[in-house]
Structure 1
Amino acid sequence: MRKQLHVNLFEMNCVSHIVHGLWVHPENNRHRFNDLDYWTELAQLLEYGTFDGVFLADVIGTYDQFRDGPETALREGMQIPSNDPLLVIPAMAAVTRNLGFGATFSTTYEPPFAFARRMSTLDHLTKGRVGWNIVTSYLPNAARNFGHDTEVVHDHRYEIADEYLDVLYKLWEGSWDDDAVIQDRERRVYTDPSKVRYIDHVGEHFKVAGPHLCQPSRQRTPVLFQAT
Structure 2
Amino acid sequence: MTNLLEAKGLHAAYGETRVLHGIDFAVRQGGVTALLGANGAGKTTTLRAICGLVRTQGELNLNGTSIGGLATEDIVRLGVAHVPDGRGTFMELTVEENMKLGAYTRPANQAHADFDHMFDYFPRLKERFKQQAGTLSGGEQQMLAIVRALLLRPRLLLLDEPSFGLAPLIVQEIFRILRRIRDDAGVGILLVEQNAALALEFAEDAYLLETGRIVMSGPAADISKDEGVRRSYLGY
TM-score, normalised via structure 2 length: 0.28
TM-score, normalised via structure 1 length: 0.28
Name the one with the larger helix percent.
2
Name the one with the larger strand percent.
2
Higher RCO (CA < 8 A, seq sep 6+): 2
